Amino acid sequence: MKKFLQQILASFIGNLAGLFFFFALSGAGLLIFFFALLLSGNTPKIENQSALVFNLNTQISDSQSESNLSSLISSNNTQTLTLREITLAINTAAKDNRITTLFLDGSQGNITTGYASLTEIRTALENFKASGKKIIAYNVSTGETDYFLTSIADEINLNPIGGMEMNGFASSQLFFASGLEKYGIGSQIIRVGKYKSAVEPFTRNDFSPESEIQTSELLDDLWDSYLEVITKNRPLKTGEINNIADNKGILQPEEAKDLKLVDQLIYEDQIIDRLKTITNSKDEDTFHQVTIRDYLTANTSSDTPQNNKIAILYVEGSIVDGEGRIREVGSNRFVNEIRKIRQDKNIKGVVVRINSPGGSAVASELILRELQLTASEKPLVISMGDVAASGGYWIATAGERIFASNNTITGSIGVFGLLFNIENIANQNGISNDVIKTNQFADLGNTFKPKTEPELAIFQQGVEKIYELFLERVSLSRNLPVSKVVDIAQGRVWSGKSAQKIGLVDEIGGLDASIQYLNEKLQLNDNYDIVSYPESRTWEIELINRLNNTKLANNLTDKEILTKIIWELNTELNLKDILQNPHQVYSILPYKLNIK
């Protein structure tokens, strides 16, 4: 095993192999090294009249990021923070006399986070601004996502060589039907819900009329919410922004200033000088500042732990059967985590934070069952992030109250099955398949032939049963007649704003709002600790687990095991994993919405 691990490190981290060998000479070497680093670290010092710096290129996730191999060997050193870390730092700084300014720093890159998450950050920024403190923003170039935050600033600064994108929202989709046909790969679908279009990329070459309608209306909803937000603190009207989006799209810096989208065109050194003045540090190399991570470190509470706890269960990623990989919601793993929450007597309430497009219907039901059992013993509410759709909404039906952002993408209450066959491509390459069987449906899983009508009927029956169960779950949870649920289901996607109007969501609010709801319901008077589930995994632990499991399950060489595991750990082909569901029934978003 030791030799095998050395081979892995040599293959992927060649220039660090010597360092690994050095520490491997002593079993405690690596432990001593990290312990020494820990001891050498100093608590960041916060000067009076400091600026809290929020780097806009920060990678933002709901839960603590789980590292994979690609992140280990990547040269990208972008800072990663959780959404709650950011909002907590901003809200705390609003009351901190040492912090006078908040600097939204876009000099190193742009925001890539979804609008629901950005809405929660913007709420914290509004709180900061309401305290009477300034917010100053600077970008080299800026787009809609950056402007969603920076539009709240007292001063919006843009580099004179930069530019500004303001051209509306669009969503594009790849379609593979002709490609699959060209290469002799057949596909058959079974689905319930006319808007449940997750299968369309494999069966069509363009959007269906139903997909076009729902996507258009969703984008209009999101764009209207966007316009409402960015015009709130600027001398602009929604009609003016739409005129820019229709006739300009990309603005030169001078145009952005003339149209009052930004206040000043200045270089980075000039904004630093401006911040030096604000923070009373003119004679120093740079302004008094503290990053969000350092600010949180410096303000780590030493209070006595509370017996009362609120658990946040982060359901983040595609929902799959089994344990799931890093950044996936594996049903077995999450069932165990939910049981831990239920059995912990100090946990008084639970927030289920969902940021998932769905996935396996069976896995969703297994997770839902454990949440329902937990909800029978302690209050449980749902907080929706950027996406809580299909299987993500299935899980949400466990909550007594559902919180979402106007910009949350939710709904997609529908079910589908997708069946591929490779008969044509096999025949084209001289490969044939013959079957001897004892019963009519013994070869139901044969991928070398298309399914017959009786076989398709079996799968259709399974899909319809799951759909009926989905409707029942929603009906009971939302106290709606099944007939009403049928009208708003059909696999259709809704914005959080529209979902509230039709009864799928209770309240517009973020993660903090859901926590506050439990605080008040349980009468905790702010005397509680937050505990997070599930425990974050690293690629090292994941690799060791997979090495053991793979070697036990397969008679493979070390090289074959390495190839198999590295591919699994380092791929982004989420659909491949979702479609491993043995029941072949899924509840997932119509397609991966890529809104720009």
The average pLDDT across 569-581 equals 45
Residue 11, SS3?
helix
Q: Please tell me the distance from the alpha carbon of residue 62 to that of residue 65, in angstroms, as a whole number.
A: 8
Annotated catalytic sites, by residue? 196, 390
- Top pLDDT among 74 and 304 is at 304
The average pLDDT across 365-374 equals 97
Residues 6 or more apart whose Cβ sits within 8 Å of residue 451: 188, 419, 421, 459
Express each pLDDT in 137-147 by its tens digit: 999 999 999 99
**pLDDT value at 87 more than 90:** yes
Express each pLDDT in 233-288 by its tens digit: 999 999 999 999 999 999 999 999 999 999 999 999 999 999 999 999 888 889 99
Residue 227, SS3?
helix
Read off the pLDDT band of 19 (50, 70, 90): very low
Express each pLDDT in 389-440 by its tens digit: 999 999 999 999 999 999 999 999 988 888 888 888 888 889 988 889 888 8
Instruction: With CA atoms as reference, report the closest residue to 391 among 497, 499, 490, 317.
Output: 317
Query: Is residue 368 within 8 Å of residue 385, measured between CB atoms?
Result: no
- Top pLDDT among 77 and 359 is at 359
E strands present in 196-346: 249-251, 264-265, 289-291, 309-316, 318-320, 328-330
DSSP 162-174: EEEEE----B---
Amino acid of residue 107: S
Domains of the chain: 2-40 (no CATH), 50-167+248-298 (3.90.226.10), 309-433+440-588 (3.90.226.10)
